[in-house]
Amino acid sequence: MSMSSSILFNCKPGPLLCSCSSTSSFIFKFKFPARSQCSPLPTVEFHATKPRASTHNHNHNHISIENESVSGASTSRRRSLVFVAATTTPLLLLFNHEASAVKAAGLATTTSENYLLIKEEVRKVLSKAKAAGVLRLVFHDAGTFDMDENSGGMNGSIVYELDRPENAGLKKPMKILEKAKTEVDAVKPVSWADMIAVAGAEAVSLCGGPTIPVPLGRLDSMEPDPEGKLPQESLDAPGLKQSFQRKGLSTQDLVVLSGAHTLGSKGFGNPTVFDNSYFKILLQKPWTSSGGMASMVGLPSDRALTDDNECLRWITKYAENQSMFFEDFKNAYTKLVSSGAKWKSV
């Protein structure tokens, strides 16, 4: 990937899930990575004992299949052979089932003391002026997910990637969150992935957007994600759709998550208010006017959305219905912060 052709969201601050280069430099007297004390390895466990015909017992973390005793060695062997074929596929499919169960169990922690403590400490250090930068951390951590390569995602690896050109400007919001994380860790260690995911949701809520429950239990990566995985701002609509598809995100997700660009200073309404101004202004296409600040509104990736009929349908819906935008953004954000995540066992 050519870094010179990429874009940085918060150079001023601006787009969330596109990358860019920047010549800006920051004096940053802060040591990274500040590693989580959580286990670096996924701990979802699966166990299988002897198969038992037509008997599957499931709980959240264990799969137990037992076999009835049968008389006759040949009969036993035949049943065993049948069972190998009959149970292999279900066992493989259950890995996805169990992973979903872990996430569902994580949702229950949104009322836990630790979750409420994270929100409380984030609110102490967060302001509306800082919200765009904090939200951008989420997009740049989760946005590296590649479904085909099974790499990247919401794993806290951003702490190792702050010197990359596309992440210029992210040291400041990271330093802000470090203060909150220190307080939370003193009570119960929290992963960077969880910390950033919750902080992004709080940034949206603080600026007037929807309240977004965030499941806890993500594990941190102990190394940086591969480079060149963030969508480029120079992509046209088909390119953006393909890029998001590789991350497990739909065209609707692309459009609704782009609505987060309403925060920041790219000309989409009040930079500290989370609303549907982004979509209303996209429909006006102010960049088509000759000269002036209006021609500077948005990025090529923002403007490209209006050239695609499928994207335009969603833009129009969200411009007309802020409640729909809020609800769909909440759902897409939840999907985003689960992208590529490895979860602790429950």
- Round to whole Å and give the CA distance between 110 and 103: 12
Residue 17: name the closest of 128, 110, 154 by CA: 154
Please say if 58 is a catalytic residue. Answer: no
- Round to whole Å and give the CA distance between 194 and 68: 44
- Round to whole Å and give the CA distance between 118 and 218: 14
Query: Going by DSSP bridges, is the β-strand pair 63-64/57-58 parallel, antiparallel, or unpaired?
Result: antiparallel
- Round to whole Å and give the CA distance between 312 and 320: 12
Identified catalytic residue from 56, 58, 60, 140: 140
- Round to whole Å and give the CA distance between 141 and 161: 9
| DSSP calls for 263-315 | SSSSSSS-TT--SSHHHHHHHH-GGGSSSTGGGGSS-HHHHHHTTSHHHHHHH
- Round to whole Å and give the CA distance between 339 and 326: 20
CB 206 within 8 A of CB 123: yes
Count CB neighbours of 338 within 10 A.
22
Residue 212: both structure tokens together: 């977004």
13-41 as b/e, with b when 16 or more CB fall inside 10 Å? bbbbbbbbbbeeeeeeeeebbeebebeee
Residue corresponding to tokens 């089932």: 97
The residues carrying an active-site annotation are 140
